C-alpha cells in the first residue's frame, strides 16, 4: 500500500471559480475575457489537468514557459496562449509564431529582437507598462523609443496594453490601485494608437475588488484555485471553492504525560495528559516547515491543531479532545473544510506558496 497521502483536485471547483472570475469581469465590461493563469504548473495543480478542465470554457491560458505553452498546443488547446514574460531569445520567436502564441513585451530589448526576427514574424503583443510595480514593464521614459519602434517595425500583429497591480489586495501600505491607474493613464495620454488598443490590467484581487479595471482581458490566478487574494476576506465568502485538498491519515498515536515533549527540538511541552496523533505528511510533501504548533488541521472531520515542529515526512497533532480519532483516521491538511489561506496565514505565508510547493512525491487524484 502506498503512503496514505494524496492531493485531491476538484476540477468542477476549478471551472466554477473560472466562470465566477469571468462573471465578475463581465458585470462591468460585458465583452471582457479572462485568461486562465496557469503558470507554475497551474499553481501546483497540474498544467495539463487544469487545461483539460478549462479547455472548453477558458478564453485563453497565460503562463511563463515556452515549453509549457507548446505542451498546451500539443494537448489540443486552441485558444490564445499568453507568455507572461514574453520571449527570452531570438530563437523563441519562431516557436511563438509557429504555435500562435501571444507575447508580453516588457523591455526595449524584446522589441529589438522582434524587429530582428527572420522571416518577419507577426505576433500579437501585450505591451507591458511599468505603472509602479517596478518589476517588469516599459517606463514612461522609454515610451518615445517604444513608439518609434512600433511605428517602423513590421512585426506586431495586434497590440494590447497591459500593466500589473502591486497592491490590489489592499494590505502593505493601503495605497490600493488609483496611483497606478493614474500613471498608466498618463503614460498612454495623447497616444492616438494606444487609445484604440485593448487593455489588460486586473489580477484576482482587482477582479474582485475593482470591477472598473476589468476592461478587455482580466488575468485571474489564485482565485481559480480557490484561494483568496485578501488577508481580510475568506475564499468561501467570495464564493470560491477549494480545488486542492491535501489529505492524509493518522499513522500512530502516542499518549504522553504532562511535561513530555513532542518532535524535534521538543518545542511542544504537554500541559495536560495528551493524545498525540502522528500524520503522514511533512515538509517533503510540501507542508510548510515554518507552520508553528497550533496550526489548524482536520482529523476525522473535526478541527484540531498541530503540535511541535513539522518534520520531513510527519507532523503531530492533538487528539486529546477527539477520542473517536485514532490510527487510520482521515486527515485534511488544507482544502475541503479548512481553507488553505488559514493554514498559510498560520505559517506566515500565502496560499499561493502552499499550492506551488506541493511535492512531486504526493500522488494526485482527480475528483
Ligand X SMILES: *Cc1c(COP(=O)(O)O)cnc(C)c1O
- The site for ligand X (CB under 6 A) is made up of 37, 39, 84, 164, 203-205, 219-222, 229
CB of 225 vs ligand X, minimal distance in Å? 8
Give the residue with the Cβ less far from ligand X, 167 or 342. 167
Three-state DSSP class for residue 66: helix
Instruction: Compute the distance between CA of residue 77 and CA of residue 185 in angstroms, rounded to an integer.
Output: 34
Give 265-271 contacts, CB < 8 A, sequence gap 24+. Answer: 265/308, 265/309, 266/308, 267/293, 267/308, 267/309, 268/293, 268/307, 268/308, 268/316
Nearest to 136 by CA among 93, 161, 104, 168: 104
Measured CA distances, 131 to 139, 177, 193, 211, 243 (Å): 7, 10, 19, 19, 32
Give the residue with the Cβ less far from ligand X, 121 or 164. 164
| 256 grid coordinates | 504522553
Give the residue with the Cβ less far from ligand X, 3 or 49. 49
Indicate the residue whose CB is closest to ligand X: 221
CB of 63 vs ligand X, minimal distance in Å? 9
Instruction: Compute the distance between CA of residue 282 and CA of residue 361 in angstroms, rounded to an integer.
Output: 11
54, 57, 60, 63 alpha-carbon torsion, rounded to 10°: -20
CB of 38 vs ligand X, minimal distance in Å? 10
CB of 233 vs ligand X, minimal distance in Å? 14
| 264 classed as catalytic | yes
CB of 220 vs ligand X, minimal distance in Å? 5
> Which of these is catalytic: 39, 210, 225, 287?
39
What lies within 8 Å, CB to CB, of 283 at 6+ separation is 289, 310, 311, 312
> What letter would DSSP give residue 328?
T
Give the residue with the Cβ less far from ligand X, 66 or 84. 84
Output Rg (C-alpha) for the chain, integer angstroms. 24
| 126 classed as catalytic | no
Evaluate whether 93 touches 118 at the Cβ level (below 8 Å).
no
Give the residue with the Cβ less far from ligand X, 42 or 310. 42
Residues tagged active-site: 39, 264
Amino acid at each position: 500500500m502506498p503512503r496514505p497521502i494524496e492531493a485531491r483536485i476538484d476540477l468542477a471547483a476549478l471551472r466554477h471559480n473560472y466562470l465566477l472570475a469571468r462573471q465578475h469581469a463581465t458585470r462591468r465590461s460585458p465583452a471582457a475575457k479572462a485568461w486562465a493563469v496557469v503558470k507554475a504548473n497551474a499553481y501546483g495543480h497540474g498544467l495539463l489537468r487544469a487545461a483539460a478542465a478549462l479547455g472548453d470554457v477558458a478564453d485563453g491560458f497565460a503562463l511563463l514557459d515556452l515549453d509549457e505553452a507548446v505542451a498546451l498546443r500539443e494537448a489540443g488547446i486552441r485558444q490564445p496562449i499568453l507568455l507572461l514574460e514574453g520571449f527570452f531569445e531570438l530563437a523563441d520567436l519562431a516557436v511563438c509564431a509557429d504555435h500562435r502564441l501571444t507575447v508580453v513585451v516588457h523591455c526595449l530589448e524584446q522589441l529589438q529582437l522582434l524587429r530582428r526576427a527572420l522571416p518577419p514574424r507577426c505576433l500579437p503583443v501585450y505591451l507591458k507598462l511599468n505603472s509602479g510595480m517596478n518589476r517588469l514593464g516599459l517606463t514612461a521614459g522609454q515610451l518615445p523609443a517604444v513608439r518609434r519602434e512600433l511605428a517602423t517595425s513590421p512585426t506586431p500583429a495586434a497590440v494590447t496594453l497591459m500593466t500589473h497591480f502591486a497592491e490590489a489586495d489592499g494590505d502593505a501600505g493601503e495605497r490600493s490601485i488609483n496611483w497606478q491607474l493614474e500613471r498608466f493613464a498618463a503614460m498612454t495620454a495623447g497616444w492616438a494608437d494606444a487609445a484604440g488598443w485593448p487593455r489588460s490590467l486586473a489580477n484576482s484581487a482587482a477582479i474582485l475588488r475593482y470591477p472598473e479595471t476589468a476592461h478587455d482581458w482580466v488575468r485571474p490566478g489564485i482565485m481559480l484555485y480557490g484561494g483568496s487574494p485578501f488577508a481580510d476576506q475568506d475564499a468561501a465568502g467570495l464564493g470560491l471553492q477549494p480545488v486542492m485538498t491535501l489529505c492524509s491519515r493518522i499513522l500512530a498515536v502516542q499518549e504522553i504525560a504532562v511535561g513530555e515533549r513532542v518532535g524535534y527540538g521538543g518545542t511542544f511541552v504537554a500541559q495536560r495528559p495528551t493524545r498525540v496523533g502522528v500524520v503522514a505528511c511533512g515538509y517533503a510533501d510540501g507542508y510548510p516547515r515554518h507552520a508553528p504548533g497550533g496550526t489548524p488541521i482536520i482529523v476525522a472531520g473535526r478541527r484540531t491543531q498541530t503540535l511541535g515542529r513539522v518534520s520531513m515526512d510527519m507532523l503531530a497533532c492533538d487528539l486529546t479532545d477527539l477520542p473517536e480519532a485514532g490510527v487510520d483516521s482521515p486527515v485534511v491538511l488544507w482544502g475541503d473544510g479548512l481553507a488553505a489561506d488559514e493554514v498559510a496565514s498560520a505559517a506566515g505565508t500565502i496560499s499561493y506558496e502552499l499550492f506551488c510547493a506541493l511535492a512531486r512525491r504526493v500522488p494526485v487524484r482527480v475528483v
